[in-house]
Structure 1
Amino acid sequence: MSSAASSASVSAASSASAFVPAPFTADDYRARMARAARSAADAGLDGVLVAPGPDLVHLTGYRPTAATERLTLLVLSAEQDPVLVVPTLEAPDAERAAGAAALTLCDWTDGKDPYAVAAPFLDAGGCFAVSDSTWAMHLLGLQQTLPGTSYVSLTAALPMLRAVKDAAELARLEAAGAAADAAYEEIVKVRFSGRRETEVAAELARLLTESGHEQVDFTVVGSGPNGASPHHEAGERVIEQGDMVVLDFGGLKDGYGSDTSRTVHVGAPSAEEQRVHDVVRQAQQAAFEAVRPGIACQEVDRVARAVITGAGYGERFIHRTGHGIGVTTHEPPYMIEGERQPLVPGMCFSVEPGIYLPGRFGVRIEDIVTVTEDGGRRFNTTAREMAVVD
C-alpha cells in the first residue's frame, strides 16, 4: 500500500474515532416517551410497559448496571406522565439517567410487593404493549395483581417504535459505520494465511475498539468451509492459501450500532469463487438501488433474492436480506418475505445477501443503509469488490 493510501486510512480511522456527538437531553427522551404513548393509544392500547433492555435505553437513557430479579418498569400512557418503577437501591443510578428529568421515579424497597407498587399506574382493565425483554416472572406478577389486564408484544404491536431515526441518531449510525469501515481498511492489510480464525477475530475486535467502539458485539471470521455457516463463531481453524474468508463484525459506538460484512480471498480466487462473489455483489447492489420510501420491506429481499436465484444459487441464500439497526445491532424492521411495512425516511437497516456452499465456502456483502426522501444512502463505503489478502 502506498504511503498516501496508508495516510488516508489512518486519517479515516482518526476521523471515525474523533466523532463526539452531543448527548441526548431530557427533552429528547421526553419526546420519545410521548411519541410511544401516542403510538400505543393510536393502536388501541392503554399504554406501554418497558423493562430493562434496549427499549428502556432508547426511551429514557437509563441502563441498569446489571441484570437483576428486582422489578424495574417504565409505564407510559397518554393518560398520565411517564413513571419509572425502580428498586430503591438502584434509584440513585436511575436519577442520574439523562431522561430522568422527564419522568417520575417511584421506588420500592425489598420486602414490598413491587407489582402492588406498579399497579396504581396501570388501568386495571387495560391492554398494554410489553417490551420483549420483560422477564416472564414480572409479567406473571402483574397479571396476578391485575387479573383484568392483558398484554401484547411491543415489537408486534408497535414495530416502528425505534425504526425511524432522527438526525442525531442518524449521525451516530453514520459515525459507527465509518468506524467499522476504518477497521476493515486495516484488517485487509494483515496476514491471514497461517493464522487461526480467532487471531484475526481478536485483531478485528481491537481495531473496532481503536476506531471508537465502546462495545464489540461480534467478529465473525469464517474461513474456507466455515464461511458456509453465516453466523460461524471464529474457531481454531488455520486459514490457508486459497481460502475464501467471510468477515462480519460490528458493535456499539456512542450507543449506536455498526454491522458490516465483506468477503476476502487468501491469494487469487478461482473462476467459480469470483463468479459467486460477483453474483452476491450484484444482488447487494440491486437491493440497495431498490430502497426508496413507500416500498414494502419485503421488496428489498425479493430484489436481492431474484438476482441470486437467477444465477442458480437460490437455495443457497438461507437468511433474510436485512435487519434494522439502532441501539442494538438487530432490531425491526426486517427485510424478509411477508414484511409489508413500507419503508420510511429515517429507517436504517442492513442489506446483506449471501451465498453459502456447504463444505466449501460462503460469500456475504453487507452495508447499513438509511432511507432518504428519494432513495437510500449507505453508511458503509468500503469497496465491495473481493479483496485479495496475504
Structure 2
Amino acid sequence: MAGTPAPFTAADYRARMDRAAGAAADAGLAGLLVAPGPDLVHLTGYRPPAVTERLTLLVLAAGQEPVLVVPTLEAPDAERAAGARGLTLRDWTDGTDPYHLTAPLLDGDGRFGISDNAWAMHLLGLQKELPGISFVSLTDALPMLRAVKDEHELVRLEAAGAAADGVYERILKVRFCGRKETDVAADLAALLLESGHSQVDFTLVGSGPNGADPHHEAGDRVIANGDMVVLDFGGLMHGYGSDISRTVHVGDPDPEERRVHDVVRQAQQAAFESVKPGIACQEVDRVARAAITEAGYGDRFIHRTGHGIGVTTHEPPYMVEGEERPLVPGMCFSIEPGVYLPGRFGVRIEDIVTVTEQGGRRFNTAARELALVE
C-alpha cells in the first residue's frame, strides 16, 4: 500500500541483537534465550509459521554469533529469515533431543535471561540438560529491551496512531442508539482493517453501566439514548500497535456526565504536559491521579495511567506508582486516565505519546472533547 514504510534491514536487526547481547552482559547475564513472541519479532523479524510445542529459540551472547534453533520442518522459512538477518541456523528433527543440541551453545553454569512467554517444558528441558544453568525473565532482567524506539519504529507507530484517529472520526458517524455493543465493536474492527491495520487486537465498547468496567468486552447490551459509551480499540499496522480510547455520549449528557468527562480530559492533558526526559515514569501517573483526586474521584481511578507500546500493545515501560525508571527520548506509551462509577457509567481518554528532547509528542490527535452520537 502507498506510504508503507521500508522494511527493516539485516543491519537493523543485527544492531538490535548486538545491543541486546551487550545489555545482557552489562546485567551480569551469560546471554539471552528468546522464544517465539514479541521479543523474537523485535530482534529478528522472524515469526514462526505456528507456535507449537517444538523448541524454537534464539541464543544471544556478547562476543558470539547469534544462533536460531528451529525444528527441521520449519527450517525453510527460518533459513530465509536467518540468511536475511545474519543468523546461524541449527535445526533438529522430531525424535531427537533439541535440548542436547542447544546445550553446547550455552554456558553450563551461566545465568540467562529468557522470554517471559517461553514454555515451561523448554526451560525445564534445558535445566535438565545443564543442571548448573539458571534463568531470569526478560521483563525482570531487561525490562527496557524494546522500550526505546528508533526512527523507523516511530514512523510505524505514528502511522498506526493516525489510522486509529481516522477510525474514531468515522465511528462518530455510525448509529449507536438501538444497536448492541457487539455491533459497534464489529464496525470498529472493520474500520481498523480498512484503515490499513493488518490485525485487530481489541474493540472494547462499554455502554452505560458497562463503561464502569475498564476491560468490559463488548456484549449484547443494547445501547440506549442517554448512555455514555467508552470506546477502546487498536491493533497492528506495519507490525506496530495502535491503541486509542475515547468516550462518547448518546444524546445530551447530564451535568455530572459532562463534569466527569472534563475531569478526565484535564487529567489526561496534565499528564501529557508532564512528559519530559528525565522524569520518573511514576510521575506521569501521579500527575493524572492528582487531578482526578482533587476533583473528588480519586477512588474511582482504578488502574495505572499508561503502558508501553511497540510490536505489542502492552509492554514496558508502565506509568504506575513505583516505576522509578526515567523517561528517555524514543519511549512510547499510553496516557489513559479514567473514572468509573459502578452501576452508572465510565469515562476514559487515551492517547499514545512518545518522549522527545522537548517533551511529549502525541501519536493520537483525534478530538478529546465529549462527542455526541446518535
Same fold (TM over 0.5): yes
Structure 1 match to 2:135: 151
8 A contact 1:316–1:356 mirrored in 2? yes
Distance in 2 separating the partners of 1:104 and 1:65: 19
Distance in 2 separating the partners of 1:189 and 1:134: 44
1:47 correspondence with 2:31 = yes
**Equivalent runs, 1:133-172 vs 2, <5 Å:** 133-172=117-156
Q: Which digits, 9 at most, give the CA deviation of each residue in 1:181-237, with x for residues without a partner?
A: 010000001110000000000000000000000000000010000000001100010
**Equivalent runs, 1:2-17 vs 2, <5 Å:** none
Match for residue 350 of structure 2 among 366, 369, 388: 366
Structure 1 match to 2:296: 312
**Equivalent runs, 1:221-236 vs 2, <5 Å:** 221-236=205-220
Structure 1 match to 2:94: 110
Structure 1 residues 358 and 307, CA gap change in structure 2 (3 angstroms)? same
Deviation at 1:98, TM superposition (A): 7.0
Q: Which amino acid aligns with 1:360?
A: R
Deviation at 1:79, TM superposition (A): 2.9
Distance in 2 separating the partners of 1:234 and 1:136: 33
8 A contact 1:292–1:371 mirrored in 2? yes
8 A contact 1:19–1:175 mirrored in 2? no
Deviation at 1:18, TM superposition (A): 3.8
Structure 1 match to 2:222: 238
Q: Which amino acid aligns with 1:80?
A: Q
Give the secondary-structure state (helix, strand or coil) at the position aligned to 2:18: helix
Deviation at 1:96, TM superposition (A): 2.2
> Which sections of structure 1, spanning at least 5 residues, go unmatched?
1-16
Q: Which digits, 9 at most, give the CA deviation of each residue in 1:112-147, with x for residues without a partner?
A: 110010001100100000011100000000100001
Deviation at 1:99, TM superposition (A): 6.9
Q: Which digits, 9 at most, give the CA deviation of each residue in 1:241-290, with x for residues without a partner?
A: 00000000000001000000000000111000000000000000000000
Distance in 2 separating the partners of 1:219 and 1:227: 13
Match for residue 321 of structure 1 among 273, 294, 305: 305
Distance in 2 separating the partners of 1:354 and 1:28: 38
Match for residue 256 of structure 1 among 232, 240, 248: 240
Q: After the TM superposition, which parts of structure 1 deviate over 4 Å for at least 4 consecutive aligned residues?
A: none
Give the secondary-structure state (helix, strand or coil) at the position aligned to 1:81: coil
**Equivalent runs, 1:168-247 vs 2, <5 Å:** 168-247=152-231
8 A contact 1:61–1:99 mirrored in 2? no
Structure 2 match to 1:82: 66
Deviation at 1:374, TM superposition (A): 1.6
8 A contact 2:13–2:85 mirrored in 1? no
8 A contact 2:68–2:87 mirrored in 1? yes
Distance in 2 separating the partners of 1:318 and 1:94: 44
Give the secondary-structure state (helix, strand or coil) at the position aligned to 1:96: helix
Q: Which amino acid aligns with 1:235?
A: G
Structure 2 match to 1:281: 265
Distance in 1 separating the partners of 2:308 and 2:85: 29
Q: Which amino acid aligns with 2:111?
A: C
8 A contact 2:181–2:207 mirrored in 1? yes
Match for residue 300 of structure 1 among 284, 287, 290: 284
Give the secondary-structure state (helix, strand or coil) at the position aligned to 2:66: strand
Distance in 2 separating the partners of 1:99 and 1:278: 54
1:355 correspondence with 2:339 = yes
8 A contact 1:60–1:100 mirrored in 2? no
Distance in 1 separating the partners of 2:75 and 2:337: 45
Give the secondary-structure state (helix, strand or coil) at the position aligned to 2:136: strand
Give the secondary-structure state (helix, strand or coil) at the position aligned to 2:28: coil
Distance in 2 separating the partners of 1:137 and 1:131: 13
Compute the TM-score of the two structures, normalised by the length of structure 1. 0.95
What value does the CA root-mean-square deviation take over the aligned residues?
Answer: 0.9
8 A contact 2:288–2:337 mirrored in 1? yes
Match for residue 48 of structure 2 among 64, 75, 85: 64
Distance in 2 separating the partners of 1:206 and 1:364: 22
Distance in 2 separating the partners of 1:306 and 1:247: 24
